[in-house]
Structure 1
């Protein structure tokens, strides 16, 4: 609270009865700043006469109040009174006391009309002349000084400044969360149930309608597969049962009979195109073999019975006897914990099915009904046999390295791990004629290496296939001579290379525009050569209606496998029979589609 500024204290005038003593005049001169040097009368003022000399001058002297800055009071003096120390009319001015600076100067009230100051006095000489010799104070001045002192003490006792500061701090403090008014939550209105596709729900499609809320991935429904050999039992079989005896018996029988195969015959392009036209898809040749997305497939080389194996992303392997129409024609096994990236029937013994996931390489031996563990490691992506006997294999890893594995060596360890300088290795493929050469495809690298000169590190390729600008999904030699290589790249290109002579760098022979943007929910496309035809390869397609395309190495589209009534999804993984006109395509829901000749007989 601010104190109200009082009006300037008036001067005290008293009747002059006699001439002031020299001592009193000296005190008066010392108490005022004008007395420090006696003013000289201006000649101009003397010339103007006594009326000009008596013009009032305004002097200001500080008025000290306890607890406040000194106020200023005005005094009216004429030139004559200033020199003589007298007030007009013979009044004497009340000078300030120079001895006591803290003493309150006199300031009687003004009448506010003519600017003159009147002094209240009871007429006693004792009041005007104190005994100590100081300047006399009137009764009004003493009363006023007393009031000022009492008011100052009263306001000091109120501690207004401290209270204002304390209130300011309280106002700026953060309010307690309890005192905050919480907004009432809005009432959630029940929205109508919206239909969402299974792709948006991240649920793998199936023949049976699945609930909208999918709580667990399919892979977590099963316990982890232990290391070592596993019995060849289907996933729905809890104990000893004869559910799979018929299926495994068929596999064993066709492997024993078909051990000695005749020589492969390569038809000309005209006959080959006629055979492609004779292959059709029907509803009875479509079946869900595994529960999740197909990542790899293998087809048995038997000519009497069509026997297919498929591996999905959860580690399941499905075996399907396509010629059998009963419910027992297909069964699922779980030899792996992770995606089955690569599968091959042994070229010398079709009773052995080798499958690879990211953590293990296993051999399913139908003669002993067991899945043996050949090699165990981490981040494996693919493999291929280094020789016809299938005793040794080259294994690619996701970290870019390649590993040499010999099945004849006891234990599940590798013979050699070689760093070929890749950031990622997705596929490896061995030359069909010169088995010492193998090709690796990775991020943007495709190169051919000689297995005889592999070292642990600093391996140089025999030949590099140039031109890829994005990651490469696959690269394979042509099946008969190895004179061609086809690659699938994420830059929406299929490239064909001439590898007749393995020079240090090889440029693309043909470049085919092809939509390879399979995205997250589809397995990457892999272009594979037809083992019956050296110059043609097969690849999946995203064109509507869905189809599987056959290209010649010149870039020409030779044939399109399409059936809008039966094929409604993209088949990323495809496999061709080595001697029969049969094509099998697998999609992201675990279904297999078999294109075959219409004249082929079916068994009950």
Structure 2
């Protein structure tokens, strides 16, 4: 007892007291068994069902959030939904986030808390967008687009300070001629729109030295009055002819830029005393070059036409006259009167012409629309004597038979035919002979110069063809075909194969081969000679012509330059 008392005095329980306390104390409840580990679930997905605004007098069913809320609530989801639908929760507080129903003041059906919050969000969003003023900005943008792009004045470029670095520009970019070409005043853009007037034009170059021009015209007139010692065309055997071709060389002083743009036609004066060459370009210029003169006074340029000079011939009986044809007119440049007379003018485009007799008073003219016209220079006015439809889509070249002048050869898109000018009518014309075999457009067709027994054609199907026209039957026989690259493109004048007046069986044509060259073929298809000079000839000479009596060949390229091969 004394021991127990001493233990209680120290504030400690005796062992007996501790046993009594344990007996009176109920045992602690058993620990609950560990909960089974839940299987991994997919992330909850929120599905929202939106409700349109309720119409007056109609109560819409209550919408709620489904899916993620129920999955997050687990098994207690049904119990919580039941609690929300109990009367206690319906009559609960007026918290805006609760799901209770609230009746409208005008007797409309009550709105749920979700609908009230939705209407509140709509109102706040409307106020926010109104503060941004998007409707006003959209209206202003629509007005700007309706007015179109505004014309803003360009700011003037500041001038460079004096003494600064000067940028060098080539003569081509400055639209300047090379030094060896007589400086012609370049017309301004407004002046280029001016057209050459109809009617006679004075034979003046304009802007060039009058003294040198008078000298050139005087040389032309003097050469035209001279008669050749041997007027007959010389024909030799093939071996001597090839030797003569090999002796013709290109020298540095026999190259000259005569016209400003692409050469479309070339003519050689028939005199044997000098070499006088005429060239027509794409811009309506006609250039005359006396090859024997110096660079400063040897060439002069005239402007008798508005458009491309497609064809030129010196008159066979009057070499003082140079006839040139452009798209709109046929003119005769008479050096004895120093004037370009107008022979024929039309609104249709002209393509080529040839003389119907040696006096050069009448001519047959081809038009791009497929018709031909007969022109008589002795008739006053500029109208044709006859305009005939020969059934072509276009007429590129016309050529008169050298012996029987009533026949002429016309080359069209894919047609080459021989007609009799005596039987031409306005329509319904029948061909005397037809040259078949062309599959693409024909660039040219010409009779052989002395007898007319051969015709050479150039076609876009990369072939040169030679026909037998000795009998002028209904269908002319094809003698030979030569594979030849005629694909000149848009920047080069199309090739024209023309006969050598001195040699009945040979013709000359341009070439696309490298090194650049001019080719001479026999009517059998044999290549006789190729004129080339790697140092001096570096361009394609599309238009070529032989001198009628001398061993001289002239070739023109797309830059207005002439190359003269001579002995």
TM over 0.5: yes
1:68 to 50, 55, 59: 59
Task: Indicate yes or no: 2:550 matched with 1:559.
Answer: no
2:197 to 181, 203, 226: 226
Partner residue of 1:573? 543
8 Å Cα contact 1:219-1:314 kept in structure 2: no
- 1:305-331 CA-to-partner distances (Å, cap 9, x unmatched) read 111100000000110111112511111
- 1:39-83 CA-to-partner distances (Å, cap 9, x unmatched) read xxxxxxxxxxxxxxxxxxxxxxxxxx9742699xxxxxxxxxxxx
**Distance in 2, Cα, partners of 1:166 & 1:68:** 25
| Cα 1:219–1:557 shift into 2, 3 Å | farther
Q: CA RMSD in A?
A: 4.0
Deviation at 1:173, TM superposition (A): 8.0
| Cα 1:482–1:204 shift into 2, 3 Å | farther
How many pairs are equivalent?
Answer: 451
1:446 to 405, 416, 424: 416
**Distance in 2, Cα, partners of 1:259 & 1:562:** 30
8 Å Cα contact 1:218-1:314 kept in structure 2: no
SS at match of 1:244: helix
| Cα 1:226–1:510 shift into 2, 3 Å | same
Partner residue of 2:155? none
Task: Indicate yes or no: 2:236 matched with 1:273.
Answer: no
8 Å Cα contact 2:103-2:111 kept in structure 1: no
**Distance in 2, Cα, partners of 1:3 & 1:542:** 78
**Distance in 1, Cα, partners of 2:242 & 2:337:** 41
**Distance in 2, Cα, partners of 1:304 & 1:310:** 20
| Cα 1:150–1:358 shift into 2, 3 Å | closer
SS at match of 1:295: strand
How does the TM-score come out when normalised to structure 1? 0.67
1:486-525 superposed matches below 5 A: 486-525=456-495
8 Å Cα contact 1:467-1:507 kept in structure 2: no
**Distance in 1, Cα, partners of 2:297 & 2:467:** 44
- 1:153-211 CA-to-partner distances (Å, cap 9, x unmatched) read 5859989779959979x89989728789xxxxxxxxxxxx9x9998xx9x9996369xx
1:303-318 superposed matches below 5 A: 303-318=272-287
- 1:513-538 CA-to-partner distances (Å, cap 9, x unmatched) read 00111111110100000000000000
8 Å Cα contact 1:259-1:349 kept in structure 2: no
**Distance in 1, Cα, partners of 2:411 & 2:532:** 30
Deviation at 1:405, TM superposition (A): 0.2
Unaligned runs of 5+ in 2: 1-47, 63-81, 89-100, 143-166, 181-185
Partner residue of 1:249? 218
Please identify the structure whose Cα radius of gyration is greater.
1
**Distance in 2, Cα, partners of 1:166 & 1:260:** 112
How does the TM-score come out when normalised to structure 2? 0.72
Deviation at 1:242, TM superposition (A): 2.6
Deviation at 1:509, TM superposition (A): 1.2
1:258 to 227, 236, 248: 227
8 Å Cα contact 1:259-1:350 kept in structure 2: no
| Cα 1:563–1:222 shift into 2, 3 Å | farther
Partner residue of 2:448? 478
SS at match of 2:178: coil
| Cα 1:259–1:596 shift into 2, 3 Å | closer
| Cα 1:376–1:2 shift into 2, 3 Å | closer
- 1:313-351 CA-to-partner distances (Å, cap 9, x unmatched) read 000011011111251111110000000000000001100
Partner residue of 2:207? 236
User: Mean Cα displacement is larger for which, 248-257 or 157-166?
Assistant: 157-166
1:283 to 242, 252, 255: 252
**Distance in 1, Cα, partners of 2:479 & 2:192:** 48
Deviation at 1:274, TM superposition (A): 1.1
User: Mean Cα displacement is larger for which, 224-233 or 325-334?
Assistant: 325-334
8 Å Cα contact 2:228-2:272 kept in structure 1: no
8 Å Cα contact 1:204-1:293 kept in structure 2: no
Task: Indicate yes or no: 2:500 matched with 1:530.
Answer: yes
**Distance in 2, Cα, partners of 1:507 & 1:204:** 51
Partner residue of 1:325? 294
| Cα 1:462–1:220 shift into 2, 3 Å | farther
| Cα 1:295–1:405 shift into 2, 3 Å | same
**Distance in 1, Cα, partners of 2:445 & 2:188:** 31
- 1:63-104 CA-to-partner distances (Å, cap 9, x unmatched) read xx9742699xxxxxxxxxxxxxxxxxxxxxxxxxxxxxxxxx
Unaligned runs of 5+ in 1: 5-64, 72-111, 119-146, 181-192, 210-214, 598-604
Task: Indicate yes or no: 2:399 matched with 1:437.
Answer: no
- 1:208-251 CA-to-partner distances (Å, cap 9, x unmatched) read 69xxxxx999996373110000010013249xx33311111111
8 Å Cα contact 1:545-1:564 kept in structure 2: yes
SS at match of 2:215: helix
Deviation at 1:259, TM superposition (A): 7.2
8 Å Cα contact 1:206-1:589 kept in structure 2: no
